[in-house]
Amino acid sequence: MIGFADATGLSPPGVSPRRYLWTDAFAVCNFLELHRRTGEKRFKRLAKDLINQVHRILGRHRGDDRRTGWISGLGEREGALHPTAGGLRIGKPLPERGPGEPLDERLEWDRDGQYYHYLTKWMHALRQAGAVLGEADYLRWAVELAEATHAAFVYRTPAGSRQRMYWKMSIDLSRPLVPSMGLHDPLDGWITCSELQAAVKGLHELPTPPLGREIAALSAMCAGINWGTDDPLGLGGSSPMPTGSASWRRAETSRPVN
């Protein structure tokens, strides 16, 4: 983990740190656990520094984007107080696909945007930080992230009879980049939001239990679905494979595991 911090520009802070939301979420949890087990303050510092760096980099527009500032659209001071209010970028090497630009499935893997299943991992990391470090801001940011991403990723079908989720959204959460639904995204969201709701009970900053509407909607989306999968990532957490497109069909047709 010290090698990871050095290689990605976390410690010492690099001129151009390389932040990637999925990896960084697991790294935060690792640093917190190392701090808990060893008592070494350097791991606590690295966890806090990584959270701040992710928010400062992936919570803002890319350096090669004509847009600047926080992706939430908030001003500098307000954005710093609510760094997750507009979600967080993935951290992919290429800019997101522009409006009206045709989808290239191979290229899309390297394009930036927002993934729901990456965002839930960051919510979990913030929840862990709140528990281990005893700082309410981390839980508040996790709840704000859950609320913002649910509002953007969840939509109602044209018939209006059910809700579904987009797999990948634009950096500013204004449009879907991949409209298919990730195989485990609703389950991942339901578990993560339920964990957050339990974690924030009793916080003065959040006098009423948050995320009730989100949890109810995600629970309804989960109802009646067979969660069996032979996808290793699906078994370990939630699958990154969306359903409904030719090259990503495996997640939809994977055989159940007994």
Task: Give the DSSP letter string of 68-79.
Answer: -SBTT---HHHH
Residues in the chain: 258
**pLDDT for residue 208 is more than 80:** no
pLDDT(21) > 60:
yes
**pLDDT value for 31:** 98
The residues, ordered by sequence, that sit 6+ positions from 216 with a Cβ below 8 Å of its Cβ are none
pLDDT of residue 6: 94
What confidence score (pLDDT) does residue 245 get? 33
Report pLDDT for 207: 60
| Number of Cβ within a 10 Å radius of residue 12 | 7
Please check whether residue 236 is in contact with residue 229, taking contact to mean a CB–CB distance below 8 angstroms.
Answer: no
In this prediction, residue 85 carries a pLDDT of 97
Residues 6+ apart with CB under 8 A from 220: 162, 163
Residue that wins the pLDDT comparison between 147 and 225: 147
pLDDT at site 41:
95
Could you tell me the residue ranges of all domains in the chain? 2-224+239-248
To which residue do tokens 């009646």 refer?
A: 224
| 9: nearest Cα among 50, 38, 52 | 50
Q: How high is the pLDDT of residue 143?
A: 95
* Contacts (Cβ under 8 Å, ≥6 apart) of 177: 96, 97, 103, 108, 111, 113, 166, 168, 169, 170
Supply the pTM of this predicted model: 0.89
Of the two residues 228 and 131, the one the predictor is more confident about is 131
For 90-112, the pLDDT digits (tens) are 999 999 999 999 999 999 999 99
**pLDDT at position 206, please?**
63
pLDDT at 242: 38
Nearest 10 degrees: CA dihedral of 160, 162, 166, 171?
60
pLDDT at 220 over 70: yes
Average pLDDT over residues 16-45: 96
Given pLDDT bands bounded at 50, 70 and 90, which one contains residue 243?
A: very low
CB 199 within 8 A of CB 193: no
Q: Which residue has the higher pLDDT, 16 or 59?
A: 59
The rounded mean pLDDT for the chain is: 88
- Tell me, what's the pLDDT at 231? 75
**Residue 37 above 60 pLDDT?**
yes
Query: Could you report the per-residue pLDDT of 65-83, keeping only the tens digit for each?
Result: 999 999 999 999 999 999 9
